[in-house]
Structure 1
Amino acid sequence: MKLNNTTISDIAERANVSKSTVSRVLNDKSIVNQRTRTTVLEAMESLGYEPNIFARSLASGRSMTVGVVTQKIGSPFYDTIMQGVIQGFSGTGYSPLFVDGQWEEGTELQVIQTVLGRKVDGLLLLGGDVSLSDLDQLRKRLPTIVIGKELPGWEGQCVYVDNRAAAYEATKHLIDFGHRDIALVRGIKHHQDAIRRYEGYADALADSGIELDPDLVIEGNFSAQSGILAVSSLLMRGKVFTAIFCANDMVAYGARLALQRSGIRVPEDVSIIGFDDQAESAFVTPPLTTVRQPGHEIGVAAAAGLLSLMRDEPCELPVMKAELQRRESVARI
């Protein structure tokens, strides 16, 4: 690799302008007229100059990085959102710095302090358990967007899916196919998504005149293993069920495996619905009926919202709509 030792003085000499003018162009100051700006940029290109990001951040007071706190790096759904975040910042000059909160409030606070120490210009928080009071303190320090949570007082700074409405639609789909004994495998108990999906499930049963059986509601943690354990629990207790609404697709994969091991066919004997619409869900056997969350679109919208905040512009983030993807894992009674 050949190092380029071009300096601002070299560029100024080539463009026949002052060093201060070159500096203003590098820092994107609007007071430089377009003709001069073009001349300086052409000089930079001809000399093969690549600006030092650290030096630019010292001059401009911006690091040109944003902190992104996710949960469980490697989770297919969260990774989809992060890909959207990457696309949203592409071409803006900002680079996202990703850290993992691992669904532990203490860990989240620790990694947030880490990215704050890097002098990031903004912060995206994906899910997590950071308290509202801590979040309120954070956004006093720097522009902050929360992904996947609905928070009081944060209108316009949250981007999330209406999980309650989506869960209602999924449960109603099972009811419309004649199912009455519908089990639910929940996500992490205190997690807002899990709570809203339970509420949608309960609302759909109530609106259809079906009494909710607490014994058909099994606690889970969004993992495939919790789907296996949930089905095993239902079968060991002799519970009658013809359908399972799972907290996410990972849970559905586990539930499907546990049913297969017990000689129970999907969907002939038991129907299954998941949530998220992971890429693999269309290709499992049978293809999984699930709720599609627009993860990529959520990431893009969150990045756009944070860019607006960092520019002191109005920020309006929409409530995203989830859509039921009807496939072969649900059969009519």
Structure 2
Amino acid sequence: MKVNDTTINDIAERANVSKSTVSRVLNDKSVVNHKTRSNVLEAMKSLGYQPNAFARSLASGRSMTVGVVTQNIGSPFYDMIMQGVIKGFSGTGYSPIFADGQWEERTELDVIRTLLGRKVDGLLLLGGFPGKELAELKERSPTIIVGRDLSGWEGQCVYIDNVAAAFEATKHLIDFGHRNIALIRGIEHHQDANRRFDGYSEALSDAGIKLDPELVVEGDFSAQSGILAINSLLMRGKSFTAVFCANDMVAYGARLALHRQGIRVPEDVSLVGFDDQAESAFMTPPLTTVRQPGIEMGEAAALGLVELMQGRSCKLPVLRAELQRRESVARRL
């Protein structure tokens, strides 16, 4: 890396070290005594020196940037994960660059190619579509996937057990005496949606309740799909006393649709969501929901990726979802 000689001289003089030591600290190419490094960094700070990031990346072969691909910028749950990502990278020297896959596999792959073209040092994929192209990423860049448990990516995924979480949520309704439990699903073929359906199905089967396919309505994780699903159930005359929703956004829409039809929550119909968005504790009534540790997931993924980018192995934690019991569920008498 080339910098102004006078600037290096000033830093070296202030830190009482040689110019070559300053260069080694700037380029981060070799081991420098911790105390010496701290003195050099303090001298840089006191002199107001800001290294040229682009030149530094050319010299070190690293951009010190990380590509973070989310699926929906603006989604409260993905926003929680991104907050955790920012927290995890804080103080590491790495800067995240965020991009949106928009729930489209082709868009996601285009975004990944763009980020790799910008020479990011690693990738964090929030969500992600399993496929051949995704599998090839392991050979191209250090990568960690958040919110998916993908075959072949063992040790590089941060996720919760969606089947167990959905089982617990459905069982909570069953324990409160509900038998006709509707399900509003998420995006078709989406891993989260499928596994939450599996947990719902297993809980019904475990309780000896036959699954009624007509009580399962497709959705897309949006509030609007919650409204449409409730309207569809009511128009078809389906009898249900509880609704398990694929996420909190769907639950918000379902709650509104029930209110418009004069159906009370929880007196007439109990309601359960998934994610535990910040607003869920303040809706009327407060929503019973499954809390996903979004911030913890993002932070763990970021710290794990730093380890991979620095050539070390990482051990990702197993995170648990927890049912938050609130007033949107009532006992069926």
TM-score, length-normalised on structure 1?
0.95
**Residue correspondence of structure 1 range 280-299 to structure 2 within 5 A:** 280-299=279-298
Residue equivalent to 1:76: 76
Residue equivalent to 2:268: 269
Amino acid at match of 1:92: T
Residue equivalent to 2:114: 114
Give the match's secondary structure for 1:120: coil
Amino acid at match of 2:166: A
Residue equivalent to 2:28: 28
Taking the aligned partners of 1:223 and 1:41, their CA distance within structure 2 comes to: 48
Give the match's secondary structure for 1:195: helix
Q: Verify: 1:126 aligned to 2:126, yes or no.
A: yes
Residue equivalent to 2:152: 153
Taking the aligned partners of 1:42 and 1:175, their CA distance within structure 2 comes to: 62
Give the match's secondary structure for 2:41: helix
CA deviation after TM superposition for structure 1 residue 310, in Å? 0.8
CA deviation after TM superposition for structure 1 residue 325, in Å? 0.3
Contact in 1 for aligned 2:29/2:60 (Cα 8 Å)? no
Compared CA separation, residues 35 and 197, structure 1 to 2 (3 A): closer
Q: Percent identity?
A: 78
CA deviation after TM superposition for structure 1 residue 50, in Å? 1.6
Taking the aligned partners of 1:293 and 1:38, their CA distance within structure 2 comes to: 39
In the TM superposition, what whole-angstrom CA distance separates every residue of 1:122-141 from its partner, at most 9, and x where no partner exists?
00001132x33212211211
Amino acid at match of 1:195: N
CA deviation after TM superposition for structure 1 residue 7, in Å? 2.6
Compared CA separation, residues 5 and 271, structure 1 to 2 (3 A): farther
CA deviation after TM superposition for structure 1 residue 255, in Å? 0.5
CA deviation after TM superposition for structure 1 residue 321, in Å? 0.8
Taking the aligned partners of 2:137 and 2:73, their CA distance within structure 1 comes to: 23
Taking the aligned partners of 1:40 and 1:91, their CA distance within structure 2 comes to: 17
Compared CA separation, residues 6 and 110, structure 1 to 2 (3 A): farther
Residue equivalent to 2:53: 53
Compared CA separation, residues 45 and 229, structure 1 to 2 (3 A): closer
Compared CA separation, residues 31 and 170, structure 1 to 2 (3 A): closer
**Residue correspondence of structure 1 range 165-204 to structure 2 within 5 A:** 165-204=164-203
In the TM superposition, what whole-angstrom CA distance separates every residue of 1:30-79 from its partner, at most 9, and x where no partner exists?
43334543443343234221212112111111111000000110000000
Q: Mind listing any 5+ residue stretches in structure 1 that lack a counterpart? A: none
Compared CA separation, residues 61 and 330, structure 1 to 2 (3 A): same
Q: Mind listing any 5+ residue stretches in structure 2 that lack a counterpart? A: none
Contact in 2 for aligned 1:104/1:128 (Cα 8 Å)? no
Residue equivalent to 1:214: 213
In the TM superposition, what whole-angstrom CA distance separates every residue of 1:211-244 from its partner, at most 9, and x where no partner exists?
0000000000000011000100010000000000
RMSD across aligned positions (CA): 1.7
Give the match's secondary structure for 1:317: coil
Taking the aligned partners of 2:249 and 2:259, their CA distance within structure 1 comes to: 16
Residue equivalent to 2:99: 99
CA deviation after TM superposition for structure 1 residue 87, in Å? 0.1
Compared CA separation, residues 249 and 39, structure 1 to 2 (3 A): closer
Taking the aligned partners of 1:239 and 1:45, their CA distance within structure 2 comes to: 68
Amino acid at match of 2:300: A
Range 39-48 or range 66-75, more displaced: 39-48
Taking the aligned partners of 2:90 and 2:150, their CA distance within structure 1 comes to: 28
Q: Verify: 1:89 aligned to 2:83, yes or no.
A: no
Amino acid at match of 1:69: V
Range 136-145 or range 266-275, more displaced: 136-145
Give the match's secondary structure for 2:148: coil
Q: Verify: 1:325 aligned to 2:324, yes or no.
A: yes
Residue equivalent to 1:315: 314
CA deviation after TM superposition for structure 1 residue 299, in Å? 0.3
**Residue correspondence of structure 1 range 250-265 to structure 2 within 5 A:** 250-265=249-264
Range 316-325 or range 297-306, more displaced: 316-325
Give the match's secondary structure for 2:331: coil
Range 47-56 or range 291-300, more displaced: 47-56
TM-score, length-normalised on structure 2?
0.95
Residue equivalent to 2:235: 236
Contact in 1 for aligned 2:219/2:225 (Cα 8 Å)? yes
Taking the aligned partners of 2:66 and 2:276, their CA distance within structure 1 comes to: 28
